[in-house]
Amino acid sequence: MQNDQNALITIWRRDLYSAVIADTLDGFGYHHQVATPGIRPLDAAMVLCGFARVGIYMPIYHDDDQVNVYENEIKLVDDLHEHEVAVFACNGNKRISPWGELLSTRAKFLGAAGCLTDGCVRDARQIKQMAFPVFSAGLNPADTKFRGKLMWYDVPAEFAGVRIQTGDLVFADIDGVVFVPGERIGEVMAKALEKVSAESTVRQELLDGASLSEVFARHHIL
């Protein structure tokens, strides 16, 4: 079973892209699965594909022993499994960078697929050198200490306009971020692969000189 999952993740990451998954979700009636634009990869070539582990941050304005700012963040990252993505929902708070080099180092060792946050990240140069997929709303050297705390994890959240939960599939590339509901992953991704194959046929027909109207009449793909 694990080998099958490994093979699927490899195929999805290699052959799919956010636009075709978004189109496929539209076909299944899911019209609100694309994150609001603005979440970008540290490197344009990065592709993020894995299963969400959701954590929710709230703003704070001090730290002490009772606040224990890193408590839940450490628990979540240490509990990441192969192909999982740390999804840190900060409600667009760019005052904090909940992700950096050391968390990337631990997550990569555990086999995690990457990190996605609508907050910021830091240590960008080191993370890029690690080739660890990280997508964020920007860069900021400011730590979460005194500024934000991960309060809950593995609970539903809203991320850049999309309601998500642990177990959903995260796919992100240079075009943006899309979420596939956990209960529909298999059928959505299978249909997306079919669409990629069909698009290859359309592309070749266009390269051979067919018009858009001719191609669309035959395949209903654009």
What ranges in the chain are assigned the alpha helix state H? 2-15, 18-27, 71-78, 101-109, 124-130, 185-207, 212-219
The CA distance from 146 to 219, in Å, is 56
Structural domains of the chain, ranges and CATH numbers in brackets: 33-181 (3.50.30.40)
Contact 101, 127 (CB under 8 A): yes
Q: Evaluate if residue 94 carries a pLDDT over 60.
A: yes
Residue 1 banded pLDDT, cuts 50, 70, 90: low
Q: Which pTM does this prediction carry?
A: 0.91
What pLDDT score does 37 carry?
97
Q: Evaluate if residue 219 carries a pLDDT over 80.
A: no
Maximum Cα interatomic distance, the chain, rounded to a whole number of Å? 69
Q: Evaluate if residue 222 carries a pLDDT over 70.
A: no
Kindly report which listed range (54-68, 97-111, 134-148, 203-217) carries the lowest average pLDDT score.
Answer: 203-217
Q: Give the rounded distance of the alpha carbon of 178 from its chain centre.
A: 7
